[in-house]
Amino acid sequence: MPADSVGRRFGRGEGHAALECNGLEAGFVGCDMGTDSSRTEPAPEPLGNGARRRPLGRVVIELGIIFAGVFGAFVAEDLRQQREDDQRAQQTYEALLGEVLTFAERVPSVVAEMRSNVDAWGERHAAGQYPPPPFYREPRAEAPPTAIWEATLASGAVVLLEPTLFNEIAVFYNRVTSVSDRYRRYNEFTEAELLPYLEDEASRFYDADGRLRGLYRAHIELLAEVRNELDQLSAEAEVVQAHIEAALEP
């Protein structure tokens, strides 16, 4: 086969590498396949113990930076949550303080009116008269306000309160609920057994000896219990108020 035909078979066309050979006798030894002899691939470096490894100190530093970043994020989140909890606690204290103040301001006048009604009746009865038994009716609500405390319990905000103060507030409101229940029972009797009969004869309320009948004596005694409990709660409200105000101080 002629040399020029060999060249044609291996593609001397444009864009292809030309095959150059000194002759068929020489074979392919010394042939140039059209590659650039100046471009040589670097020999791979042997993989030894220290080949392409990052220094141990650098790895430790990088891990330390990552740990510090993650830890810092947790600390920042804890601080943010703590600020929110403190703010919610302050708001809860302020709301409870307003409710306790409402109770403390109203109760003394209620106690005074209860005592005055009973004393006025006692003076008239001691003077030989037979007036209807004394009673007291709250012109507003039957029970002191407790909505803020109930909302605090329902919302779970109690976990934000200082434990000792929370216990003190809880005991106070438990006693408020107890005296409220007693007053409701008292008021039910007033509305059912007393108010409809205020214009009746004295014999409805007094026996033949002029003594108040047992049913109405028990009614007056229940009023005295409610009055004494409210009087005590009024003093306790002042203590609770002072402790809540102290918790609100920066």
pLDDT (0 to 100) of residue 102 = 95
Domain extents for the chain? 1-32, 86-248
Residues 6+ apart with CB under 8 A from 130: 202, 205, 206, 210
With a cut of 50, list the residues of the chain below it in pLDDT. Answer: 1-38, 47-48, 50-51
Q: What is the pLDDT of residue 86?
A: 66
Q: How many residues does the chain have?
A: 250
Q: What letter does residue 42 receive in the DSSP assignment?
A: P
pTM: 0.67
Closest by CA position to 223, among listed 188, 199, 197: 188
